[in-house]
Amino acid sequence: MEDRFALQTLQAILSSLEEAISVVNTKGELVYWNEAAERTYQIKKEEIIGKNIRDFFQQEDVMHLKVLATGKPVRDVYHMPRSDKHVLISTTLLRNEENEVMGSLSIEKDITSTIHLNEKLSSASKELQQLRQHMNQQHDDPFTKIKGVHSSIQQLIHQAKKMAKSDAPILISGESGVGKELFAHAIHEKSDRKEKPFIPINCGAIPNALFESELFGYESGAYTGASRGGKPGKLELANGGTLFLDEVGELPLDMQVKLLRVLQDREVYRIGGLTPKQVDIRVIAATNRILEKMVAEGAFRSDLYYRLNVFSVNIPPLRERKEDIPLLVYDFLEEFSYKYQKQDYTIGQNALAVLLDYDWPGNIRELRNLMERLVVLNESGEITETDLYQVLHVGKEPSVHLDLQVASLAAEKERLEKERILETLQSTFGNKSITAKRLGMSRATLYKKMRKYGIVFEK
């Protein structure tokens, strides 16, 4: 009675799991096939139990048969049992009390949707990079996209322009949303490599089992399901250009060793490949973690850290350079007014005081998203403190000293804006169309601001 209850309990547990579980005997005949396996491969139990697995899958694609043939189990291996299925598979031998092999057990986690999403992200990233490169061609200085009058940002831009002339690795640190990738793009576009690819890879968004194939690529036949002709990795794709390793602190330790070897030898071996491929890449890494602490804890290799940290850029959070908030706010309001074809939006002084009093845990990304949301939802053309209280968890009594600070900052912003317009008009010999493009605004907005500041400039 107890044995029957235990068996029923085990069957219930196996049936409820999300992983596909299958068991075959030494002949390759299926003796167990759970509900998750049915969902993953669209094969019912009654169709496959007792049948040979070769009747449903190509023999070379069946991990059961490989493990039975070699006697070597596998654990969390990336596998393609079918051309439309991607799984992480663990397969082990089953033995009786006399240690005789009775069959094998496989547990498979379906990661097909993750793979497809990663492919879409890679495709979108490539298209976005092409668009950015096209847009950058419209500007003489790619660093103009980095907005800020605070001395810390201006100093970083000045240093980054010098770094761009070198091929040495750069480590960019800072909280999420401060603009690390924007700096990396600007450095690439300012370098001699600007005509070559800028290849980004988010180390925190790739499953550990896929890291090696993503970075190094693979040769044809390197593993089951590998594309004919193989596939180049991100290191090869970045040849001649820049590889941007975002969230580099998430890079697994075994990949850190292999990446260090590439940086030292400038050679890449694809998975399954015997011949090295020469690569010439400039590496820019970014992290929101404290790598020095990770090195001390053994979570990040010290030799790789020192290899990446030849030059360092530490971007301060927005709360430490609040002088930049009004400038960013006006830029974002103008951007989204144009994007959503609305009137030019303004913001009240009390509303600006609220923004200055807020700590911005999401930094510039959070501010930009907030401005877009306000422009979409607001119909009056002016952002008020009431609008902000509805979306920000802040108090409703801005301090008096912030009002005074805002007034000073607003005046400074207008002075800088006037100077920028005059300088651009002079450099374009008064051409209003080119001036508007260089300043990132419409001609109508340019004329409006010229009237505001009393600027008269004829060709």
pLDDT digits 0-9 by tens, 152-183? 898 999 999 999 999 999 999 999 999 999 99
CA distance readout (Å), 288 to 313, 314, 355? 12, 10, 24
Q: For residue 428, what pLDDT is reported? A: 79
- Partners of 268 in the β-ladder: 277
pLDDT above 70 (res 10): no
The first and second tokens of residue 363, run together, are: 């930094």
pLDDT above 60 (res 4): no
Q: How confident is the model at residue 402 (pLDDT cuts 50, 70, 90)?
A: very low
Within 10 Å of residue 225's Cβ, how many Cβ atoms?
17
- Stretch 327-351: mean pLDDT: 87
- With CA atoms as reference, report the closest residue to 440 among 191, 146, 149, 151: 146
pLDDT above 70 (res 11): no
The first and second tokens of residue 421, run together, are: 């317009």
Please, what is the average pLDDT of the chain? 83
pLDDT in tens, 342-377: 878 888 888 888 898 888 999 999 999 999 999 988
Q: Compute the distance between CA of residue 60 and CA of residue 357 in angstroms, rounded to an integer.
A: 63
pLDDT above 50 (res 313): yes
Q: Would you call 392 exposed, middle or buried from its count of C-beta atoms within 10 A (0-12, 13-18, 19+)?
A: middle
Q: For residue 247, what pLDDT is reported? A: 92
- With CA atoms as reference, report the closest residue to 209 among 300, 308, 307, 74: 74
Q: What element of type H or E holds 452?
A: helix 443-453
Report helix, strand or coil for 165: coil
**Where are the extended beta strands (E) located within 192-350?**
198-202, 217-218, 231-232, 242-246, 267-268, 277-278, 282-287, 311-314, 346-347
- Stretch 421-426: mean pLDDT: 82
Q: What element of type H or E holds 184?
A: helix 180-190
Amino acid 324 reads D
pLDDT above 70 (res 332): yes
Q: Which of 228-232, 313-317, 403-407, 413-417 has the lowest mean pLDDT?
A: 403-407
Q: For residue 182, what pLDDT is reported? A: 94
pLDDT in tens, 90-148: 999 999 888 889 999 999 888 887 777 776 766 666 666 666 665 555 456 888 888 88
Q: How confident is the model at residue 292 (pLDDT cuts 50, 70, 90)?
A: very high
Q: For residue 368, what pLDDT is reported? A: 93
Would you mind telling me the total number of residues written for the chain in this entry?
459
Q: Compute the distance between CA of residue 86 and CA of residue 438 in angstroms, rounded to an integer.
A: 47
Amino acid 458 reads E
Q: How confident is the model at residue 396 (pLDDT cuts 50, 70, 90)?
A: very low
pLDDT above 50 (res 397): no
Q: Compute the distance between CA of residue 178 and CA of residue 10 in angstroms, rounded to an integer.
A: 51
**Angle at CA of residue 285, ends 282 and 289, nearest 5°:** 170
Q: What element of type H or E holds 33?
A: strand 30-33
Report helix, strand or coil for 172: strand
Going from the N-terminus, what domains does the chain have, and what CATH number goes with each?
Answer: 2-110 (3.30.450.20), 114-316 (3.40.50.300), 319-453 (1.10.8.60)
pLDDT above 90 (res 229): no
Q: Compute the distance between CA of residue 262 and CA of residue 335 in angstroms, rounded to an integer.
A: 41
pLDDT in tens, 438-452: 787 888 888 888 888
- Stretch 222-243: mean pLDDT: 76
